[in-house]
Structure 1
Amino acid sequence: MPLTREQIAQRIAQELKDGFYVNLGIGMPTLVANYVPPGIDIILQSENGLLGIGPWPVEGQEDPDLINAGKETVTALKGSAFFDSALSFGMIRGGHIDMAVLGAMEVSEQGDLANWTIPGKMMKGPGGAMDLAVGAKRIYVAMEHANKEGQPKILKKCALPITGLKCVHHIVTDHAFLDVTPEGLVLRELAPGVTVEQVQRITEPKLKVAPDVREMKV
């Protein structure tokens, strides 16, 4: 069975390492914060100027002035820091973010990312995605493997406007875990009950199947 959005986030959370500075993109990536493994201490950064994001606020105790980049209300941990966007983007562009999790509308086999606009749709702007794409040390993409029409979102070449070139390192979808390598996309893990053939059917590029391909643990 394909994974749910929560299970995709749970699988990505397994990649977190103790002491990581992490930026979570808008939408599905924000769910990763709910599944940080026990014993792992990470520091969440938001490009609108907050380092040290805490758990989601209890209903009725939200502070409308305390929000993340997606305008969702959050909490701040003891010792958190608040700063302006210039300093925030300095952290990102300076290579101080160990891992960023971003959503995507398309990813190419070379790791190109398209996630900021769809032609003809209302454009809200790229936010911090372009800076994170080139500034974060590791980029994980959280996405559905195919669109609502069943067409691949992992392509030989992106058709939508590019956010960043050759910036994606790993793709985690409802069907599979893929590594982006110079030799092409490597299929590392499969969602429970999903076959290699099913993943290839909704992936435009030819996949390289890892010798030790295994079931995703969520």
Structure 2
Amino acid sequence: MISGIAVLVLAGGEGSRIGGGKPLRRLGADTLVARALSLARRWSDQVLVAVREPEQVQGIDAELVRDDPGLSGPLGGLAAGLRQARLSRRDALLAIPCDTPFLPADLLERLAQSIGGAKVAVAASAGRLHPSCALWRVEALDALPDWQASGRRSLIGFADAAGHVVVEWPVVPFDPFFNVNSEADLRRAEAILAG
């Protein structure tokens, strides 16, 4: 059984396809990162935000962790979050991206119920894995040095190396793991929000 879960909001990406500054882009009344934080705070009393630089989320009231500089992409944020969760004596870390504004409310519950003896429970929809939306036991961190030494950097590859299960979500009326990467995506998110 898992007790003591921290939540990590991954916000360290450059967001170049949307013109930069993705975490602070507005969707409705809130920024993308504020929407993610609001959801994360429903799941845990310890919410972390992983960034390359604090300016990426300026004005946000949250505990920041800096992406591991030796790892590129979301893996750097995940590594930093897992280390902080371990220091805080948490059993697991739920990672969510800041650019996925419609995550299912039952994300943590279903991942926690499904993880069993695995180190990672990864969300999926329409047969596609979403490794940035996953529940990671902190001991998955023990597999990171070997994964780093392999020269590979993908999150799903690391989840596979650590040992993962997959939890599938329906995509009706829309995919809850839809993420905002471009201006067109942001307009689609606004349309979904408007209902």
Q: Scaled by the length of structure 1, what TM-score is found?
A: 0.28
Q: Which has the larger radius of gyration?
A: 1
Give the structure with the higher percent strand. 1
Q: For CA contacts below 8 A with separation 6 or more, give which structure has more relative contact order.
A: 2
Report the TM-score when normalising by structure 2.
Answer: 0.31
Instruction: Name the one with the larger helix percent.
Output: 2
